[in-house]
Amino acid sequence: MLRVYLTVLIYVGLILGSFAGAQVWRLRYKQLLDDKKYDEDYDKSELKRLSVLNTKKEKHDRSKCLHCGHVLAWYDLLPLFSWLSTGGKCRYCRKPIGWFEPVIELATAFLFGLSTFVLLPGLDSGLSVAMLVLWLVACVLLVILFAYDFKWYLLPDSINFGLIGVAVVIAALKLFDQQFSAQAIVSLLGALIILPGLYWLLYAISKGLWIGFGDVKLCIGLALLLGRWELAFMTLFLANFIGTLLVLPFLASGKLSGKAHIPFGPLLIIATIIAVLFGDHILRWFEAASLAIFV
């Protein structure tokens, strides 16, 4: 039965990954329009290219090729398979589509499959099933935030607030499942202090030079998803550890300067996913290792 659920949810992940990829481009187009409206710096060539997404004069919002503007048919929108069938090119203008969309689709499918494999065997009530569904919804939002921040160094407010909304419901269900015990409430507050509290402090001290305020809002959603101070601390450690491993080789080779702008949102998202799915296993391993060393 687990194999059936895995197969179904992996394909659902592909479909929602396709949706996530489309939303990333729509969010970018809206961002460029807002930048133009408020006299902010923006890429005029990019705005012109994405203007095909303008749907003000259309009754229905339809997906289009970003190069030629051709409205895509249903067979052009089959997740991953349509991209493979055309060799990664638009069926109509033959210009390359790129790797951005299929990578998002595969990442979402992988995340759905991994979450199902790890969390499904432990489900024992309707409440836990609801939390899994909400977690998968949160995963789609996390993929959008990851892709947008990775590509443009920004975290859209609309997706951040959507993540916070979903995370509030998940946190409330967890507290309900634990009968709103004082320990659970204190642990949740600890998570909110460790992640968004610390990042807000860094934002305030640096006046936005080290950390963007979008990262602070992201951390609110992540802390609510984690729900426990131990997992929040683990996320903070893992995000910095992974970032160090990725950045050090480039710094050592001179390919990256010390003043380079590095998006921290993707690192926080990866660390949160690890903590949610494997946090309890890591904590048990750490506790066993500590006992073996000190006892």
Give Cα separations from 219 to 124, 164, 192 (angstroms): 29, 9, 8
Is residue 128 classed exposed, middle or buried when 0-12, 13-18 and 19+ CB atoms within 10 A define those classes?
middle
> Given a cut of 80, is residue 84 above it in pLDDT?
yes
The pLDDT assigned to 82 comes to 85
- Per-residue burial over 228-261, b if 16 or more Cβ lie within 10 Å, else e, is bbbbbbbbbebbeebbeeeeeeeeeeeeeeeeee
Number of domains in the chain: 2
What does the pLDDT average to over 10-38?
94
Q: Quote the domain boundaries for residue 230.
A: 129-295
Residues 222, 152 share a domain: yes
Picking from 61, 88, 122, the residue at the C-terminal end of a domain is 122
Q: Among 217, 223, 179, 216, which residue's Cα sits nearest to residue 201?
A: 216
> Given a cut of 70, is residue 119 above it in pLDDT?
yes
Residues 110, 203 share a domain: no
Dist. CA 140–CA 135, nearest whole Å: 9
Picking from 122, 153, 174, the residue at the C-terminal end of a domain is 122
The pLDDT assigned to 258 comes to 59
> Given a cut of 70, is residue 280 above it in pLDDT?
yes
Longest dimension (CA), the chain: 72
> Given a cut of 90, is residue 274 above it in pLDDT?
yes
Residues 253, 159 share a domain: yes
Picking from 122, 150, 185, the residue at the C-terminal end of a domain is 122
Is pLDDT larger for residue 76 or for residue 157?
157
> Given a cut of 80, is residue 92 above it in pLDDT?
yes
Residue 175 tokens, joined:
């507290």
Task: Give me the torsion for CA of 263, 264, 265, 266, rounded to 10°.
Answer: 80
Provide the whole-model pTM: 0.92
Q: Rounded mean pLDDT of the chain?
A: 90
> Given a cut of 90, is residue 289 above it in pLDDT?
no
What does the pLDDT average to over 17-35?
94
Residues 217, 285 share a domain: yes
Beta bridge partners of 71: 64
Residues 293, 181 share a domain: yes
> Given a cut of 80, is residue 233 above it in pLDDT?
yes
Return contacts of 118-124, CB within 8 angstroms, 24+ apart: 118/277, 118/278, 119/277, 120/2, 120/5, 121/2
Give Cα separations from 122 to 116, 134, 218, 229, 277 (angstroms): 10, 16, 28, 22, 12
